[in-house]
Structure 1
Amino acid sequence: MITGLYETHLFVANLELSIEFYKNILGLEQCYFEEERRAAFFWIGEPKESMLGLWEKPKSEIDRRHFAFKCDKNFIINEATAFLKEHGLNPFNFLNDGTDQPMVFAWVPAIAIYFDDPDGHHLEFISVLDGKGKPENGIISYERWLELETKEK
C-alpha cells in the first residue's frame, strides 16, 4: 500500500531566510510560492517525486523537527562535512568523539551526518551502505565500520 514518503512540512520563522537556505545552500528546486499563506514548496530529488513545504509561523509556534535527505554515500564520506562548513553550518554526529565526521548506524547500515537549518530543525544527510546490518555494533565511526567489514572477509 505505502510506497514512499511524498512530503514533509516545517514551520519556519522567516520564510525568505529559509527559502535562501533550502534553495541556495542545499540546492532544492523551489516549485511553488504562496505569499498569502506564507508558504514555499521544494522538490526533493526529481520533480514530483518528493516535496518539502515551509510555512512561516511566529517563532513561538515553531517546534523543532528532524528529517533526513537521502544522498550519495560518496558525498557523505568525502564531501559532506566540508560542504556544510563552507556554508557556515556545523556538522555533528552522536559519537561524542570530539569530531564532526559522519557516523554509521550499524543496524541498517547507513552513514549519516547531522546539521541544523536556520530554525534549529535537525537535518541529516544519509545513505544506506552495502552489507548486512549489525545492530550489536550500535552507532560507530565509518572507519570502525570499515574495520569490522574487513575482518569479516
Structure 2
Amino acid sequence: MIKGLYETHIQVSNLENAINFYTEVLGLKLAHQDENRRIAFLWVGKDRDFMLGLWEQKENLQTRHFAFRVDKEDLLNTSVEFLKNKNLIPYNFLKNGSEKPMVFAWMPALAIYFNDPDGNQLEFISILEGKEKPELGILSYEEWLEKTS
C-alpha cells in the first residue's frame, strides 16, 4: 500500500529566511504560504512529487534531519562545490573533517551532510547499486569500490 514518503515538516525560526534558503539557495519551489499560520510548503523535485513544510517556531525550536535524493554523479562530482558556493559547510557522517561523501554499506548509499540556517541537519543521498555489506560499516567511496569490486 505505501509507495513512498510524500512530505515532511520542520521548524524554522524565521519563515521568510527559511523560504529564501530553501528556494534561492537549494532551488526548491514555493507551493503555498499561509501567513496566518506562519507556515509554507515547498515542492521538492517535480511539483507534487514531494513536499517540505516549514513551520515558524519562535521558541523551543526543535531541529530535525532529512535527506534529499540526488544522482550519484552529482553527489560525487558537484555536491561539495555546490554547497561551498552557497556558503554551506559540507561534512560527512563521521564529522571527521573530511568533505568527501561517505558510504553507508548497510544500504548501500552515498551521502554528504550540511545544515540549514536553523541547524536542521540536511543530507544529499544516493542509493548505490549492488548488495548491502553491513560488515563494512561506514567508509569512503574509494574504499567501497575497492572492497566490492
What is the TM-score of this pair, normalised by structure 2?
0.96
Which residues of 2 match residues 136-151 of structure 1 at below 5 A? 136-150=135-149
1:114 aligns with 2:113: yes
Q: 1:96–1:50: structure 2 CA closer, same or farther, 3 Å change rule?
A: closer
Query: Among the aligned pairs, what percent are the same residue?
Result: 56
Q: Which amino acid aligns with 2:53?
A: G
What CA distance in whole angstroms lies between the structure 2 residues aligned with 1:147 and 1:138? 14
1:128 aligns with 2:96: no
Q: Which amino acid aligns with 1:54?
A: L
1:65 aligns with 2:74: no
Aligned to 2:75: 76
**How much does 1:113 deviate?**
0.2
Q: Is the 8 A contact 1:11 1:62 kept in 2?
A: yes
1:34 aligns with 2:31: no
Equivalenced residue count is 149
1:10 aligns with 2:2: no
Runs of 5+ consecutive residues of structure 2 not aligned to the other structure: none
Aligned to 1:104: 103
What CA distance in whole angstroms lies between the structure 1 residues aligned with 2:95 and 2:31? 38
**How much does 1:49 deviate?**
1.4
> Structure 1 residues 37-46 or 133-142, which shifts more?
37-46
Q: Which amino acid aligns with 2:66?
A: F
What CA distance in whole angstroms lies between the structure 1 residues aligned with 2:100 and 2:35? 39
What CA distance in whole angstroms lies between the structure 2 residues aligned with 1:36 and 1:106? 45
What CA distance in whole angstroms lies between the structure 1 residues aligned with 2:111 and 2:34? 33
**How much does 1:95 deviate?**
3.3
What CA distance in whole angstroms lies between the structure 2 residues aligned with 1:97 and 1:25? 25
Q: Is the 8 A contact 1:95 1:141 kept in 2?
A: no
Which aligned runs of 4 or more in structure 1 are off by greater than 6 angstroms? Answer: none
What CA distance in whole angstroms lies between the structure 2 residues aligned with 1:117 and 1:89? 8
Aligned to 2:87: 88
Helix, strand or coil at the partner of 1:61: coil
Helix, strand or coil at the partner of 2:20: helix
Supply the RMSD in Å over aligned alpha carbons.
1.0
Runs of 5+ consecutive residues of structure 1 not aligned to the other structure: none
Q: Which amino acid aligns with 1:5?
A: L
